[in-house]
Structure 1
Amino acid sequence: MTAVSRHFVLAAGGTGGHLIPAFVLAEELERRGHHVALITDARGAQIPGKPAGLTAHVLPAGRLQGKNPLSWIKGVRAIMEGRRMALRLFESFEPSCVVGFGGYPAFPALLAAQSAGIPTVIHEQNAVLGRVNRFLAGKVNAIATAYNHIDRLAPKHEEKVHLVGNPVRADVLALREKPYPVFTEDGLLRVLVTGGSQGARVLSEVVPDGLAMLQPALRERLQVTQQCRAEDIEAVRARYAGHDIPAELGTYFEDMASRLADAHLFIGRAGASTVSELTAVGRPAILIPLPIATDDHQAANCRDIVEAGGARAIRQERFTAVELAKQLQAMAQNPGSLANAAHAAWNCGYPAAVSDLADLVESFGGAPMMDVIRVGGSAHAHQGKEALAMETPE
């Protein structure tokens, strides 16, 4: 608990990727005795997982994109209205710092903070600096990152960078110290498949057929849990039944942490939250980056875990049943292969992400600058020491 209670505002776009780390930081700051408010859009206010005591303020968030001048005028008006509303909130709430997590709803709040002389921090969850964060990078006090190398970050802004990782939910982080599930030559191979909050159609179309192409000795031991779109679920169920592969299907799983705990292998997209959870827990994966993701950031998110040997990445244009079967067979050819990949993924994690980010945020508007992890500093040394202290999962 800190000696002085202060106020902080967190501003985030209306997706889980932006909001989950904001929620985790809010809980940590509140645990330290501070008061926290959230700024987002209407969609973000409905995202599950918001801490019970966190007040959400919905602001208009205009988008500056496209070639139509009218859309730009409309976007600017919405941004300025959001800025005015944020300034009114700041007058009463008096935040010590405003923290942006990317997305257009964060933009007016950070503009308002800078005009009011309030310190600002941005957190980038992806391995590519997002559009809003790129625009603000030169004006903020600090840039917190989830990866050691961030694409589209101007060299002149690197001195502001603090490598902290991407905060993950407490129930997921709690799995980090638990061993990788036992996987033997004749035991079940539990596979978890998700494609984001709404599932992904390509996974529904490819994964059942790909799993069916595995060698019989492996295929007969499969136990699958897959998240699907509601309109796809019956077709996927029929595919698994036709292949005689036991599968539990759903459009949404509330107990995702427990399912991740049981999984031997993950198949899915490479969003920031997904990769950070896989590395926090230590689960091997086959990742299919979303091809339409802005600046191809999901492909960049894969780099570290793939280079470490904790995952394999397949571009969507190459993601066929044959290719999936080939990659999965190689990863699961013996129990030790998956366990080693799990350990490699674990070594890529940043378990102290939320405390390091909270330390950084607390350093503004209060006590003198605290010791925080900086790029090229102690982050990897700390990770290495932690990795040496952990036995290779069995």
Structure 2
Amino acid sequence: MTNKLLARLSKRVATGYGVSAQAWGGKAVVTGCPVRSEFFSIPPHKPGKPLRLLITGGSQGALPINRAFVDSMDRLAKRKNELSIVHQTGERDYDAVRTAYARREILAEVVPFLTNMPERFAWADIIVCRAGAITAAEVAAAGRAAMFIPFGRATDSHQLRNAQEMVRACAGRLITEPELTAEKLAGEIFSLLDQPLEIEKLSSNARAMAHPQATREIVNLIEEAANVQAIRPGANP
């Protein structure tokens, strides 16, 4: 809501995606979202075995994602030798999720919180995550295949729209929260497990969506809007 109000008063509007820019007409510029430079330094994806799966629901974790993985454990266990998993749960669900993996003897590093995200993204073949603007931008910068599970109650469904834009570019997969069942989740994972070339395509297309100059472009817009360049050192204001 705040962004909408401020955008109406602004000379220019920087947006992360083209679908967002449509609402603001000629004042909008698609700059992408600034992300840490380390994400752009991640080498291109190289396929390998076992399939490396990074699951993250944000700093607090995501209950629907955690619950869906717990519910899918029996299915995942059937191919556990083909999977290597890092699952960031948040504090609340940590014990339950860790126990669920351990009972099925699935190779998984279960942690409440992750700090070294560029390193974790570099490790992963597939990232299962929400679809906030920054998360999607990090996926693109890293050039990694992603399975987006947008937060269902996000304002104006902006996470869903972010994920849909990535999917339209063949740069990610999408499961909405109403679709998020154990069967659907395991099916999508196994589909990618059986299609390494699809993972490569998603990874390559994701990196093509990246905006490495986002910070510079936003600064340029600010300077332009403020007419900073009209005042030179020594000139009379």
**TM-score, structure 2 normalization:** 0.90
Structure 1 equivalent of residue 53 of structure 2: 191
User: Is 1:340 aligned to residue 201 of structure 2?
Assistant: yes
Matched AA of 1:222: L
Number of the residue aligned with 1:15:
none
Q: How far did 1:195 drift?
A: 0.6
**1:313-345 deviation line (CA, Å, top 9, x unaligned):** 111111011001111222221321211111111
Q: Which residue identity does 1:133 align to in structure 2?
A: N
> Matched residue of 1:289: which SS?
coil
**Structure 1 residues 287-332: Cα deviation after superposition (integer angstroms, max 9, x where no partner):** 1111111111110111221112221111111101100111122222
Q: Which runs of 4+ in 1 moved over 3 A?
A: none
Question: Aligned-pair distance for 1:150?
Answer: 1.5
Tell whether 2:40 aligns with 1:179.
no
Give the whole-Å Cα distance in 2 for the aligned partners of 1:250 and 1:150: 34
SS in 2 for 1:223: strand
Question: What is the correspondence of 1:134-283 to structure 2 with a 5 Å cutoff?
Answer: 134-150=4-20, 153=23, 157-175=24-42, 178-180=43-45, 182-184=46-48, 187-210=49-72, 212-214=74-76, 216=78, 218-283=79-144
Report the Cα distance in structure 2 between the residues aligned to 1:210 and 1:151, rounded to whole angstroms. Answer: 38
1:242-391 mapped onto 2 (5 Å cutoff): 242-363=103-224, 364-368=226-230
Q: Distance in 2 between matches of 1:261 and 1:163?
A: 26
Q: Which runs of 5+ in 1 are unaligned?
A: 1-130, 369-394
Once residues 255 and 200 of structure 1 are traced to their aligned partners in structure 2, the CA distance between those partners, rounded to angstroms, is 19
* Rounded Cα–Cα distance in structure 1 between residues aligned with 2:73 and 2:144: 19
- When residues 335 and 351 of structure 1 are mapped into structure 2, their CA distance, relative to the original with a 3 A threshold, is same
8 Å contact from structure 2 (residues 57, 89) kept in 1: yes
SS at match of 2:118: helix
Q: CA RMSD in A?
A: 1.8
In structure 2, C-alpha distance between the alignment counterparts of 1:163 and 1:273, rounded to whole Å: 14
Kindly indicate whether the alpha-carbon contact (under 8 Å) linking 2:146 and 2:171 is maintained by their aligned counterparts in 1: yes
Deviations 1:255-302 (A, max 9, x none): 111011100001121111110100111111111111111111110111
Higher helix fraction: Structure 1 or Structure 2? 2
Measured in 2, the distance between the counterparts of 1:215 and 1:223 equals 12
Check 1:260–1:233 CA distance in 2 against 1; reply closer, same or farther (3 A cut): same
Larger radius of gyration: 1
The unaligned stretches of length 5 or more in structure 2 are 231-237
RCO higher in 1 or 2 (8 Å CA, sep ≥ 6)?
2
| Residue 351 to residue 308, structure 1, CA distance change in 2 (3 Å) | same
Shift of 1:208: 4.0
The structural deviation recorded for 1:212 is 4.3
